Protein backbone atom coordinates (compact mmCIF):
# COMPACT_ATOMS: atom_id res chain seq x y z
CA UNK A 1 0.00 0.00 0.00
CA UNK A 2 1.28 3.45 -0.88
CA UNK A 3 0.46 6.49 1.18
CA UNK A 4 0.83 10.09 0.20
CA UNK A 5 0.04 13.64 1.18
CA UNK A 6 0.79 15.90 -1.77
CA UNK A 7 -1.22 19.14 -1.95
CA UNK A 8 -0.82 21.18 -5.12
CA UNK A 9 -2.08 24.71 -5.57
CA UNK A 10 -2.39 24.99 -9.35
CA UNK A 11 -2.94 28.29 -11.16
CA UNK A 12 -3.41 28.83 -14.88
CA UNK A 13 -4.87 31.58 -17.00
CA UNK A 14 -6.81 32.01 -20.16
CA UNK A 15 -5.04 32.51 -23.46
CA UNK A 16 -3.58 36.03 -23.63
CA UNK A 17 -5.06 36.59 -20.14
CA UNK A 18 -8.33 37.57 -21.78
CA UNK A 19 -11.38 37.75 -19.54
CA UNK A 20 -13.30 34.94 -21.22
CA UNK A 21 -14.64 32.91 -18.28
CA UNK A 22 -18.26 33.99 -17.83
CA UNK A 23 -19.02 34.34 -14.12
CA UNK A 24 -22.56 33.02 -14.42
CA UNK A 25 -21.21 29.72 -15.79
CA UNK A 26 -18.22 29.23 -13.48
CA UNK A 27 -19.94 26.69 -11.26
CA UNK A 28 -20.58 24.42 -14.25
CA UNK A 29 -16.93 24.74 -15.29
CA UNK A 30 -15.77 23.94 -11.77
CA UNK A 31 -18.00 20.86 -11.63
CA UNK A 32 -16.62 19.70 -14.96
CA UNK A 33 -13.03 20.15 -13.76
CA UNK A 34 -13.93 18.35 -10.53
CA UNK A 35 -14.86 15.32 -12.63
CA UNK A 36 -11.52 15.45 -14.45
CA UNK A 37 -9.71 15.59 -11.10
CA UNK A 38 -11.70 12.59 -9.83
CA UNK A 39 -10.99 10.63 -13.04
CA UNK A 40 -7.27 11.14 -12.34
CA UNK A 41 -7.71 9.53 -8.87
CA UNK A 42 -7.06 12.89 -7.19
CA UNK A 43 -9.14 14.81 -4.66
CA UNK A 44 -10.21 18.42 -5.23
CA UNK A 45 -10.25 20.53 -2.08
CA UNK A 46 -11.13 23.89 -3.62
CA UNK A 47 -11.52 25.53 -7.03
CA UNK A 48 -12.29 29.15 -7.84
CA UNK A 49 -11.17 31.99 -10.03
CA UNK A 50 -12.15 35.04 -11.98
CA UNK A 51 -12.63 35.88 -15.66
CA UNK A 52 -8.99 35.34 -16.70
CA UNK A 53 -7.69 32.50 -14.53
CA UNK A 54 -8.49 29.72 -12.07
CA UNK A 55 -6.93 28.27 -8.93
CA UNK A 56 -7.37 24.78 -7.61
CA UNK A 57 -6.06 22.90 -4.62
CA UNK A 58 -5.94 19.14 -4.96
CA UNK A 59 -3.87 16.19 -3.99
CA UNK A 60 -1.94 14.27 -6.61
CA UNK A 61 -2.21 10.51 -6.92
CA UNK A 62 1.23 8.83 -7.12
CA UNK A 63 0.36 7.17 -10.43
CA UNK A 64 -0.22 10.55 -12.14
CA UNK A 65 2.50 12.98 -13.15
CA UNK A 66 1.86 16.65 -12.46
CA UNK A 67 2.34 17.59 -16.13
CA UNK A 68 -0.11 14.92 -17.33
CA UNK A 69 -2.63 15.90 -14.66
CA UNK A 70 -2.64 19.57 -15.61
CA UNK A 71 -2.63 18.73 -19.33
CA UNK A 72 -5.72 16.54 -18.82
CA UNK A 73 -7.51 19.32 -16.93
CA UNK A 74 -6.65 22.00 -19.47
CA UNK A 75 -7.33 19.96 -22.63
CA UNK A 76 -10.62 18.44 -21.48
CA UNK A 77 -11.97 21.64 -19.93
CA UNK A 78 -10.95 23.68 -22.98
CA UNK A 79 -12.80 21.32 -25.33
CA UNK A 80 -15.84 21.33 -23.06
CA UNK A 81 -15.85 25.14 -22.72
CA UNK A 82 -15.65 25.62 -26.48
CA UNK A 83 -18.40 23.09 -27.26
CA UNK A 84 -20.76 23.89 -24.38
CA UNK A 85 -21.70 27.32 -25.71
CA UNK A 86 -21.41 28.70 -22.17
CA UNK A 87 -18.12 30.49 -22.82
CA UNK A 88 -18.46 32.06 -26.28
CA UNK A 89 -15.30 34.17 -26.05
CA UNK A 90 -13.03 31.47 -24.58
CA UNK A 91 -10.09 30.72 -26.90
CA UNK A 92 -8.13 28.34 -24.71
CA UNK A 93 -5.81 28.21 -21.72
CA UNK A 94 -2.34 29.73 -21.61
CA UNK A 95 0.52 27.33 -22.30
CA UNK A 96 2.08 27.30 -18.84
CA UNK A 97 0.87 27.05 -15.28
CA UNK A 98 2.00 27.50 -11.72
CA UNK A 99 2.01 24.56 -9.31
CA UNK A 100 3.00 25.01 -5.69
CA UNK A 101 3.15 22.40 -2.94
CA UNK A 102 1.79 22.97 0.53
CA UNK A 103 1.77 21.09 3.80
CA UNK A 104 -1.24 19.83 5.71
CA UNK A 105 -0.82 22.75 8.14
CA UNK A 106 -1.15 25.22 5.23
CA UNK A 107 -4.09 23.49 3.55
CA UNK A 108 -6.86 25.58 5.16
CA UNK A 109 -4.99 28.82 4.45
CA UNK A 110 -4.76 27.93 0.75
CA UNK A 111 -8.41 26.84 0.65
CA UNK A 112 -9.48 30.20 2.08
CA UNK A 113 -7.19 32.05 -0.31
CA UNK A 114 -8.76 30.28 -3.28
CA UNK A 115 -12.26 30.73 -1.87
CA UNK A 116 -11.79 34.52 -1.72
CA UNK A 117 -10.47 35.08 -5.24
CA UNK A 118 -13.09 37.59 -6.30
CA UNK A 119 -12.42 39.81 -3.28
CA UNK A 120 -8.67 39.35 -3.57
CA UNK A 121 -8.60 40.49 -7.19
CA UNK A 122 -10.30 43.77 -6.39
CA UNK A 123 -6.87 44.71 -4.96
CA UNK A 124 -4.32 42.69 -6.95
CA UNK A 125 -4.32 41.91 -10.69
CA UNK A 126 -3.60 38.36 -11.86
CA UNK A 127 -0.14 39.24 -13.22
CA UNK A 128 0.94 40.64 -9.84
CA UNK A 129 -0.60 37.73 -7.96
CA UNK A 130 1.11 35.13 -10.14
CA UNK A 131 4.48 36.87 -9.84
CA UNK A 132 4.04 37.07 -6.05
CA UNK A 133 3.19 33.35 -5.85
CA UNK A 134 6.35 32.53 -7.80
CA UNK A 135 8.49 34.72 -5.53
CA UNK A 136 6.83 33.50 -2.31
CA UNK A 137 7.46 29.90 -3.35
CA UNK A 138 11.08 30.47 -4.39
CA UNK A 139 10.44 29.74 -8.07
CA UNK A 140 12.88 31.27 -10.54
CA UNK A 141 11.16 32.79 -13.56
CA UNK A 142 11.73 34.85 -16.65
CA UNK A 143 9.65 38.03 -16.65
CA UNK A 144 9.18 37.75 -20.44
CA UNK A 145 6.93 34.72 -19.97
CA UNK A 146 4.63 36.38 -17.44
CA UNK A 147 2.93 38.69 -19.95
55-96 per-position pLDDT tens digit: 999 999 999 999 999 999 999 999 999 999 999 999 999 999
- What torsion, rounded to 10 degrees, do the Cα atoms 79, 91, 20, 51 define? 70
- Go through 121-139 and write b for each residue having 16 or more CB atoms within 10 A of its CB, e for each that does not: beeeebeebbbebbeeeee
24-35 per-position pLDDT tens digit: 999 999 999 999
Model's pTM, two decimal places? 0.93
Return contacts of 118-127, CB within 8 angstroms, 24+ apart.
Answer: 118/48, 118/50, 121/50, 126/13, 126/17, 126/50, 126/52, 126/53, 127/17
More confident residue, 57 or 4: 57
More confident residue, 5 or 75: 75
* Bridge partners, 49 (sequence order): 54
The CATH H-level superfamily of 7-146 is: Transposase IS200-like (3.30.70.1290)
Give me the residue spans of the domains in the chain: 7-146
- What torsion, rounded to 10 degrees, do the Cα atoms 35, 40, 43, 47 define? -50
93-141 per-position pLDDT tens digit: 999 999 999 999 999 999 999 999 999 999 999 999 999 999 999 999 9
Q: Is the separation of the CB atoms in 121 and 49 below 8 Å?
A: no
Amino acid sequence: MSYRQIFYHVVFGTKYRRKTIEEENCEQLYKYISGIVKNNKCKLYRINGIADHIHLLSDLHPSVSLADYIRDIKVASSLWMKHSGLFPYFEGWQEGYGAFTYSLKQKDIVINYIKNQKEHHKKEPFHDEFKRLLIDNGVEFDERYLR
